[in-house]
Homo-oligomer: A and B are copies of this chain.
Amino acid sequence: MEQTTTPPSAARRSERAHQAVLTSAIEVFKELGYARLTIDAIASRARVSKATIYRWWPNKAAVVMEGFLAAVEPEIAFPDSGSLRRDLISQMVALARLLEKTRLGQMAVSLLAESQHDHSLRTAFRDQWIAPRRAVARAVIERAIERGEIDGGVDVDVVLDLLYGPLYYRLLVGLGPLDRPYIDGVVQTVLEGIAIPGK
């Protein structure tokens, strides 16, 4: 993730300070939320000076972003069961749960919101958080196409948007819970929409 949120020289002086900042960023976020989080709070929690933070990150959003990505990275597991529907639902349920129920999910939402006013943040969010998940799902879909389960003519990007878009939309706008029936409905309709025509 360094190439987007990133240091000026990469010759990291203190790894301890680096880690402490990321950890503190997450802790402070969990306690106060994005709006009330301050760089000062992160710095003093991490027993690091503000100057150190600004040496390595351009602004507070970047710190939180990197903290978020570091904390969430390991969790991109994805089972390949052979059933397209089952795999999609499995990933979407996990994602929905994360987004809706956990602090990390709230961080993701806050960061998506914040990134609307910060271009580099938007790039980081897209490349580090959104893209990996899409890549995995894309692979699943492409395997289904190869197996002839679904129409080869579909635009996979559109399909991915049809799967993920409703989740974020519903969550951001506050239209209702991301529960199992909802996800089933979304996946069902999308699969129906991309099924092999004559089948």
Contacts and interface: CB of A to CB of B under 8 A. Distances in A.
A195 to B, nearest CB: 8
A116 interface: yes
A13 interface: no
A190 B161 CA distance: 12
Q: Residue among A123, A126, A170, A189 with the most chain B CB within 10 A?
A: A189
A154 B114 CA distance: 35
A196 to B, nearest CB: 11
A89 interface: no
Given A168-B172, A169-B164, A173-B125, A158 B189 contact: yes
Chain A, interface SS category: helix
B113 A154 contact: no
Interface of A: 33-35, 109-110, 112-117, 122-123, 125-126, 130, 154-155, 157-159, 161-162, 164-170, 172-176, 182, 185-186, 188-195
7 contacts: A112-B173, A161-B165, A161-B175, A162-B186, A191-B193, A192-B192, A192-B195
